A = this chain, B = another copy of it.
Amino acid sequence: MTKARVTVIDIAKAAGVSKSTVSLVLQGSSLVNEATRAKVNAVMRELGYVYNRGAANLRQAGAKSRIVGVVVNDLTNSFFAELAVGVDTVVQSAGFVQFLSNTGESIDRQREVVASMREHGISGLIVSPARATDAADFKPLVAAGIPVVVVVRNLPGAKVSSIVSDNRAGMVSAVKHLAGLGHKRIAFLGGFPDTAVFDDRLAGYRNGVDAAGLDYHEGFVISSAPSRAGGVEAIGKAIALGRRPTAAVCFNDAVAFGVCDGLRARRLEPGTDFAVVGFDDVIEAQAAVPALTTVSVDPQGIGRRGAQMLLKQINAGKAEAETVTTAVRLVVRESCGAGKSVTSKQDAV
């Protein structure tokens, strides 16, 4: 019902002190007498005071807004939702709040939300960039002293910190596992070739093929949209090949699910007639039938790690661009044809 805002001045008047003292209390300064502190706090509760952070960071010019921006390219994908949760937990417990925006892979939208966040005075930004993001897009931010951490997809050329999972090592272990099961013809299915993640995973595939002493066939690399539909399409092409593969590592789990669909449509049972391995370990992977053998990347962990890195840089005041690749591990389930519920841990290099 009270129309006007309660300000420090109101508190000061009611408590019989000066606004400066109230401010000191607000900041938990040790300068203020215990009795006055108690008094002031009591009055604040009584009048229903709410701190105006906007006014505060107007004064303390620097990056003290206690807001971190989080931008993800596809929140409907549970991988990124988990990532956001990971960020949120550490950000929250550090007393920050997060601006979360979804770009849906639109670079324009990404530009807009980043601009908006900047106007709101974020102290730092965590971003999983939309496809084909220009590395220069974040230049102004870092120039203004706002730390930026890029996650999941790295941005070659941008001088910012980044955290990506060890895509290469993950694929190596996936291929090795299949080779260990006796497969000689292993395909790489799905994904758009214009992304850094694709390059890494493909490189891992090639390494794995070499390491297993198998021949590398260019025809076994079949790209497609990184989606379920893309997986269906890719397996269709793979099966049409003369010497068809007997197993596949997939760009990600969505593709792997599509591959399973496509196999069944051709009366082939994934896991029995054809081995399938995914990448990401989304929640659905273990509930699916057959349960998906996949490379687990722990998106929440990446989110937490990214948030920690960002907070460190915010507190340090200066942003050393550092790059971290997080370990992944192969989770063996059923779709690769190995025994049920055997889990092999394999740390990445």
Binary flags per residue of A119-134, CB closer than 8 Å to B gives 1, else 0:
1110000000000000
20 residue pairs bridging A and B, Cβ less than 8 Å apart: A5-B61, A48-B140, A50-B144, A51-B119, A53-B119, A53-B120, A54-B65, A75-B81, A75-B88, A78-B81, A88-B101, A92-B101, A92-B109, A97-B113, A97-B120, A99-B99, A99-B100, A228-B287, A287-B288, A288-B288
Q: Report how many copies the assembly holds.
A: 2
CB of A214 within 8 A of chain B?
no
Q: With A and B bound together, what is the CA distance between A67 and B55 in angstroms? A: 16
Q: With A and B bound together, what is the CA distance between A95 and B119 in angstroms? A: 12
Q: With A and B bound together, what is the CA distance between A75 and B78 in angstroms? A: 9
Closest to A65 in B: B54
Q: With A and B bound together, what is the CA distance between A185 and B192 in angstroms? A: 51
Choose one: B51, B54, B101; the contact of A98 (CB below 8 Å). B101
Given the contacts A81-B78, A121-B53, A98 and B97 also touching, CB distance less than 8 Å = no
Choose one: B54, B84, B116; the contact of A100 (CB below 8 Å). B84
Q: With A and B bound together, what is the CA distance between A264 and B119 in angstroms? A: 55
A-to-B contact residues, CB < 8 Å: 1-2, 5, 48, 50-55, 57-58, 61, 65, 67, 75-76, 78, 81-82, 84-85, 88-89, 92, 95, 97-102, 109, 112-113, 115-121, 140, 143-144, 228, 257, 283-284, 287-289
Choose one: B54, B82, B283; the contact of A121 (CB below 8 Å). B54
Contact B67 A76 (CB under 8 A): no
Given the contacts A2-B143, A284-B287, A287-B257, A58 and B58 also touching, CB distance less than 8 Å = yes
Q: With A and B bound together, what is the CA distance between A250 and B90 in angstroms? A: 35
Contact A101 B112 (CB under 8 A): no
Q: With A and B bound together, what is the CA distance between A84 and B289 in angstroms? A: 29
Contact B65 A76 (CB under 8 A): no
| A100: B residues at CB distance < 8 A | 84, 88, 98-100
Q: With A and B bound together, what is the CA distance between A2 and B101 in angstroms? A: 28
| A99: B residues at CB distance < 8 A | 97-100
Choose one: B54, B76, B118, B287; the contact of A58 (CB below 8 Å). B54
| A109: B residues at CB distance < 8 A | 92
Give min CB distance, A108 to chain B, whole Å.
11
Contact A84 B75 (CB under 8 A): yes
- Residue among A2, A67, A81 with max Cβ neighbours from chain B (10 Å): A81
Contact B121 A52 (CB under 8 A): yes
Can you name 4 extra interface pairs (CB under 8 A) apart from A48-B140, A54-B120, A97-B99?
A50-B119, A75-B84, A88-B100, A89-B102
